[in-house]
Amino acid sequence: MATWTKKRFESQPVTETPPGTNLERLQASLSGSVVLALDVSGSMSGSRLSEAKEGCRRFFDEAIEDGYSVGALLWTTQVEGRAAISRDGQDARRLIADSCAGGGNGVVPALREARDMLMAQNAGDRVIAIFGDGDLGDPAAAIRVAAELRAEDIRIITCGLGLGSAEMLAVISSEANAADAPRTAEQGRIADAIADMSSGLKRVTR
């Protein structure tokens, strides 16, 4: 008498020839998308913006190496510019390189725009990385919108120039240690701090 029982095993049928939609869905579930939102308010003029541009370039390099598609936003009290999410990040790089400073602070429009960009992506990890040198604008509105994004499994990473800005931005961060140890940039080390936000990305198998 047989002592074994027949079991049925199921998995994604990814061995189609040629590869079809099942493989595409699997690849998407293993991928990540990130939007880097850079504060270009008036106080970011001069060396601050120059350093930030270098940091953004390095952030894109690290994110792409880790398997993320990247996009970018420029924000003041409104969205000043956007670059669609792509695998090579060329549009995002151009947007950052051509940016200039002017205006005030208000992150809510950037959060909403980044949300729309990310939800259009079939990605396993969706992230907004925000750098600023000031405040959130309307903190209550920013906290409310950030909570809505987290409910949609969008993660938020923040970094501020100086401890004061870092603490104000950290209230919308989804990183576990943001309240106690907010990501903080120092004058002259802005590029390093922006690039280091890539450490908050999950490593994704390409």
pLDDT of residue 202: 83
* Residue (of 50, 44, 88, 95) closest to 72 by Cα position: 95
Residue 17 inside a domain? The answer is: no
pLDDT of residue 26: 52
Percent of the chain topping pLDDT 70: 83
Residue 21 inside a domain? The answer is: no
Whole-angstrom Cα Rg for the chain: 19
Residue 206 inside a domain? The answer is: no
Mean pLDDT is lowest, of 26-35, 43-52, 125-134, 161-170, for 26-35
Residue 109 inside a domain? The answer is: yes
Digit-coded pLDDT (tens) for 9-40: 445 555 555 555 555 555 555 689 999 999 99
Task: Report which DSSP code applies to 203.
Answer: P
Digit-coded pLDDT (tens) for 53-64: 999 999 999 999
Residue 14 inside a domain? The answer is: no
pLDDT of residue 3: 55
Residue 154 inside a domain? The answer is: yes
Model confidence at 136: pLDDT above 50: yes
Query: Which CATH number covers residue 158?
Result: 3.40.50.410
CA distance 69 to 201: 12
Residue 52 inside a domain? The answer is: yes
Residue 184 inside a domain? The answer is: yes
Number of structural domains the chain divides into: 1
CA distance 180 to 52: 24
pLDDT of residue 25: 54
Instruction: Give me the domain span that covers residue 83.
Output: 32-199
CA distance 171 to 189: 22
Percent of the chain topping pLDDT 90: 81
